[in-house]
Amino acid sequence: MNTKAIYAIGTTLVGCGLNNVFLEYIIKQDPGCGHLITFAQFLFIAIHGFIMTSKFGTVKPKIPFQTYLILVVLFFLTSVINNWAFDFNIPVPLHMIFRSGSLIANMIMGILILKKKYTLEKYISVAMITLGIIICTLMSSGGDKKKCTDCDAPIEQKQADDHFFWWIIGIALLTTALLLSARMGIYQESIYKHHGKHPQEALYYTHLYSIPGFIFYSSSIWEHMQIASASEPYQIPFVDFIIPTLWLWIFLNVTTQYLCISSVYVLTTECTSLTVTLVITLRKFLSLIFSIVYFQNPFTIYHWFGSGLVFFGTLLFAEVFTKMGQSKEVKAAQKSMKKRN
């Protein structure tokens, strides 16, 4: 493994992990700021792409504008809905576990649209992931409601019912985002087949062309910008500069988000699909553990069992265990060949 690949693995684990940490800091202070976070991320990547990818508009895109339009709509809706879900009582650990169900959505879309057929192993792995997500979802559904089962106060019971209702809306949003993301992946594959792979260009233009869509969320963005500006001030060490705490977390979330995306891109070009799957799965698992321990999010033995099914099913779907066995056989064969020679 070369130095670039090792660096990509390290920055993926660090960048994506820190991104989740800063996201949770933001959500703890202002759960409804999903649109502001998404807008900040899109704006940062668009500005960076304008400078580094399009060279201040001097480099013409290799993929036509019309081709990008459908991809932009799907990408914009997926990103907005995923961050919007935090406003509906969705805890960060459940959000991470639920988004790991993208393989289920990909399989459904593959069967419906591409008429694909899968092996029994794929169906078993997807069943494991589905069961794991269902367990984690059900265990995360009744926390506040259970607290009021023995209470006589109708106001408290109504609050618990309202909490559960909005939680259901949040689950529906996450499910919609999963299906949209899977459909986007299929469309992206068709674009690459016709025009070739240009991931940096696609990253730039999907974010740039999506920015006008935030006009529909301008009131929400402005409202949460004011909340961020009114948050507790924080003095940056070694520098005589004070910044509202929420703005600091948002800035760190945006920069680590870009580090995460760019690192995964390098990872896919420098490493095998087996390595990429292992690194991304490990990153999700470490982020989940950190979120539970550091932020003290409620997590029962059932959550552990469900998340274990999700991660094991993901590795099974990616044929990690099969490939690892094959690589061991190849190494053993190579050793025996060397001994004979």
What confidence score (pLDDT) does residue 39 get?
96
Residue 130 corresponds to which tokens in the numbers above?
Answer: 């589905």
- Provide the pLDDT confidence category of residue 268 given band limits of 50, 70 and 90: confident
- pLDDT, residue 143, reads 47
Q: How confident is the model at residue 105 (pLDDT cuts 50, 70, 90)?
A: confident
189: its two tokens: 């594959």
Q: Which amino acid is at 166?
A: W
Helix (H, G, I), strand (E, B), or coil: what is residue 91?
coil
Structure tokens that stand for 154 in this block: 């109708």
Digit-coded pLDDT (tens) for 41-83: 999 999 999 999 999 999 999 999 999 999 999 999 999 999 9
CA distances to 95, 179, 197 from 106, in Å: 18, 8, 20
pLDDT of residue 339: 67
Report pLDDT for 144: 45
Q: Choose the weakest-confidence range: 89-103, 226-240, 321-335.
A: 321-335
- Alpha-carbon distance 4 to 15, whole Å? 16
Name the more confident of 303 and 222: 222
- The residues, ordered by sequence, that sit 6+ positions from 297 with a Cβ below 8 Å of its Cβ are 91, 92, 93, 291
Q: Which range, 38-42, 177-181, 265-269, is most confident?
A: 38-42
Q: Are 176 and 108 in contact (CB under 8 A)?
A: no
Is the confidence at residue 326, as pLDDT, over 80?
A: no
Is the model's pLDDT at 100 over the cut of 90? no
Rounded-to-integer distance, Cα 141 and Cα 281, Å: 25
pLDDT at 270 over 70: yes
Helix (H, G, I), strand (E, B) or coil at 100: coil
Domain boundaries, the chain: 3-340
CA 143 vs CA 82, 91, 246, 258: distances in Å:
22, 11, 27, 34
Beta strands at 233-236 and 241-244: parallel, antiparallel or unpaired: antiparallel
Which residues have a Cβ under 8 Å from the Cβ of 178 and sit 6 or more positions away? 98, 99, 101, 102, 104, 105
Angle, CA of 285, 307 and 102, to the nearest 5°: 80
Q: Is the dihedral of CA 280, 286, 287, 289 positive or negative?
A: positive
φ and ψ at residue 233, rounded to 5 degrees? -70, 150
Residue 256 has pLDDT above 90, yes or no: yes
**Is the Cβ–Cβ distance between 87 and 163 less than 8 Å?**
no
Q: So what's the pLDDT on residue 330?
A: 62
Higher per-residue pLDDT: 289 or 155 = 289
For the chain, helix, strand, coil in percent to 5 are: 80, 0, 20
Better pLDDT: 324 or 251: 251
Sign of CA dihedral 60, 65, 70, 73: positive
**Mean pLDDT along residues 243-262:** 94
Q: Which of 78-82, 204-208, 323-327 has the lowest mean pLDDT?
A: 323-327
Q: What is the DSSP string of 99-144?
A: HTTHHHHHHHHHHHTS-----HHHHHHHHHHHHHHHHHHHHTTSHH
Mean pLDDT value across residues 184-195: 85
Residue 154: pLDDT over 60: yes
User: Is a pLDDT exceeding 80 seen at residue 161?
Assistant: no
% pLDDT > 70, the chain:
88
Answer positive or negative: Cα dihedral of 276, 281, 285, 287.
positive
What pLDDT score was predicted for residue 146?
A: 44
Q: What is the mean pLDDT of residues 204-227?
A: 95
pLDDT score of 157: 67
Give 144 or 45, the one with higher predicted confidence.
45
